Structure 1
């Protein structure tokens, strides 16, 4: 009954989230529903306050700076005109005749530099709509192009990306954002290459069949008249994030004396290995925000408003994700979860395959890459690290596989980012989800298989 209760709870979470009910409400209620099935009704309130809320708060403590700084950086990039400048610059260099490639590259550069995918979607969509309309490409391909550039290779594969999905494995495996860089680059090229090729082929096929951009109501207003900085000036904060992240993670922070961390007030840690990756991203994003403010000091219409809106914009994403982590912690504490855990661990004798399956399943169920991976690593991370060490698998490889696995099944139809992207583009699942699915589920799964195969044969590189 306990295992059945978990499965019912997970199914309801997926269905009700798809129907638009917020996980801040769903997560605790459905976690406690699973608890009722396990026959522990007397433990409802203690489980809520001592297990669910403790796990939720722990996640906020650990990752709130990244959500806050990421949202703030994205808002500053948007309000300064830098995001639009980069998108326009890419279009000018690639050519409007390669509209799909231009949009994918623009989204990729922005998200790799730390700009929130929601900010990217809002900034790039009007440009994409104008390009696709001019080229006669069906509008329903726009979400697929934006998703490819924002939800895939720059989120989970490319080394150094400051995306939260690339930071979550750090404390579990003692790694940093540049884990397994060679494998990450290979995976990124697979996703980018196949995705761009397939979308372009679909565009040619649909146009040959007589489908054009189409007539759509509520088209976005042109932003061409708004002032924007030069392309290279707009790109400078993104370059700073990438370069400073690398310097801090690889060259500077590891040399510091962090023996003070052994004190109780600092958590009693033996070293800073589990923290360096997060510290590096915090420093890089903070410096980039300050650079943006300084570079555009005379450009700001209302800097206080931009900072406040950026800060407020971080609240709902982290609370939603933290609620999912609290949910997963409650589920993992139930006796029925042992059956699920043993199944996942027994899927394969290869820890990489088992880890990939666990993260994929939980990311798909929760509709969240960060939430699903956090649940999987919080409950099974220590076991995967031990199994990997025994099998001679490096923590860096475990990091890259976990990050990539989180970005496969997460974008099922109930995923919040998918729903938001379609709303921004004013399209429906029926019109556009096929193009999102292939680019954000099918091709990332293929890239993940390649990374696991290469990592098993040759190790991490």
Structure 2
């Protein structure tokens, strides 16, 4: 955590510290075999499983950005709600974009100039802006709302045989709690700061920001996002389950008994691929350099997938050590049903790695089979396991060393001292509260 906060890349940290753990275990002769046969094998397995989602998501986000669609959607929401609801407007703009599959980094870049103009006009302290962007991009649309194509909502599918729409009502309840509490709290903080005499503040770098009114209509820009949501649902619930997938039993396809563990990922791949094609067609005459946009999106997917895969490799090495048995037994013995134990494990690992996807991937790769077995024995639906795992990944992940937090503050030209407490409340405290409510409801009434 310390080294990640100091800015050392995970691609270096993960293998070195994994091998350091092997060295501490006294197995010097196993250093190279562990690196090539355990770490790299786990890293490669993660790439095989999830690279299409990272690739298509990055390309889709880049095309939404370069076409002006992302900014048009954000501007349309802001214009509709007005400056008197500036905070809510920014939250909803970020939420709609991320729910439609646009990456949080693209969203932050697209919304930031609009947010600064809106906050300056309304006299709201700028240091609240990262909290509003984080609430819309890092929370309810990333982990809670059913159908979101975020990687955090896709990772549980292969482990539990579920899809992105798992436990939809509970997901909506959890997402609503995050949205309502977060927006309310930011508004209260804004009124307190403004009543104390604090305004937007003096930020000389803001003069460099140029905000141009989008030339694309709101609904026209929204079409690819609507396609992602609708097609994801249709593929996951109607088309793919009806296909004959008996061929998966052949050795070349992995010898699977059915496609349950694949349908969730297949649905998102189809939805994003079709949305990319639609984006290209809708803006065919508007592209300045389509090839460059596609290449930039492709290259933009490399670092996130490699970072997460490296963290999975790190976790796999730790899980292979004898000492991990103690940790595993401790986590699995957490009082209550498997939902509580899973939530604790995912939160801890997401906090340590500073990554929602990395922490959840490690937890489910090492303990997912046990949780599914425990849940089946307790009569708990895999749908509920999926939703709790996804929501748990989006709580402790945004500690100060989290890469997305550091990037967001850099985009907004603010520091941890200026704005982190507003991010922390919206991305850690309120998601933890929402997760608690979902676990209680799910344990009491089952998955719905």
Q: TM-score range by the shorter chain?
A: over 0.9
Distance 1:97 1:193 in 2: 17
Task: Report what 2:110 is aligned to.
Answer: 123
Please give the alpha-carbon distance, in whole angstroms, between the structure 2 residues aligned to 1:192 and 1:334.
41
Whole-Å separation in 1 of the counterparts to 2:89 and 2:7: 32
Aligned to 1:291: 278
- The match for 2:18 among 27, 31, 45 is 31
State the partner residue of 1:397.
Answer: 384
**Any residues of structure 2 matched to 1:400-411 within 5 Å, and which?**
400-411=387-398
What does 1:216-295 align with in structure 2 at a 5 Å threshold?
216-219=203-206, 221-225=208-212, 227-295=214-282
User: 1:260-299: per-residue Cα shift (whole Å, max 9, x none)?
Assistant: 1111111111110000000000000000000000000011
CA–CA separation in structure 2 for the residues paired with 1:220 and 1:124? 16
Instruction: Report which stretch shifted further, 340-349 or 80-89.
Output: 340-349
Q: Give CA-to-partner distance per residue, 1:349-381, whole Å, 9 cap, x none.
A: 410000000000000000000000000000000
| 1:328 paired residue number | 315
**Aligned Cα root-mean-square deviation (Å):** 0.8
Partner of 1:428: 415
The question of whether the paired residues in 2 share the 8 Å contact of 1:80 and 1:228 is answered with no
| Structure 1 position 223, deviation (Å) | 4.5
Question: What does residue range 50-449 of structure 1 map to in structure 2 within 5 Å?
Answer: 50-219=37-206, 221-225=208-212, 227-449=214-436
CA–CA separation in structure 1 for the residues paired with 2:207 and 2:199: 18
Structure 2 residue matching 1:363: 3-state secondary structure: helix
CA separation of 1:227/1:453 partners in 2, compared to 1, >3 Å: closer, same or farther? closer
- 2:9 pairs, out of 11, 22, 46, with 22
Which whole-Å deviations, capped at 9, do the CAs of 1:311-356 have from their partners, x for residues lacking one?
Answer: 1000000000000000000000000001111110111241000000
CA distance in structure 2 between the partners assigned to 1:79 and 1:221 by the alignment? 20
Listed as ranges, the gaps of 5+ residues in structure 1 are: 1-13
Q: Distance in 1 between matches of 2:104 and 2:144?
A: 15
User: Secondary structure of 1:178's match?
Assistant: coil
Partner residue in 1 for 2:27: 40
Instruction: Provide the residue aligned with 2:447 in structure 1.
Output: 460
1:170·1:176 contact (CA, 8 Å) conserved in 2? yes
The answer to whether the 8 Å contact 2:398/2:427 transfers is: yes
Cα deviation, residue 97, structure 1: 1.7
Is the 1:411–1:440 Cα contact (8 Å) retained in structure 2?
yes
User: What is the TM-score normalised by the length of structure 1?
Assistant: 0.96
Could you tell me how far 1:226 is from its partner in structure 2?
6.2
**Shift in Å at residue 217 of structure 1?**
2.4
Instruction: Return 5+ residue gaps in structure 2 as ranges.
Output: none
Q: Secondary structure at the match of 2:426?
A: helix
Shift of 1:218: 1.6
Which is worse superposed, 383-392 or 89-98?
89-98
- Distance across 2 between alignment mates of 1:280 and 1:410: 26
Q: Is the contact made by 1:82 and 1:228 (CA closer than 8 Å) also made in structure 2? A: no
After superposition, the C-alpha distances for 1:125-150 in whole angstroms (9 at most, x for unaligned) are 01000000111110100000000000
State the SS of the aligned residue for 1:314: helix
Q: CA deviation at 1:95?
A: 1.0
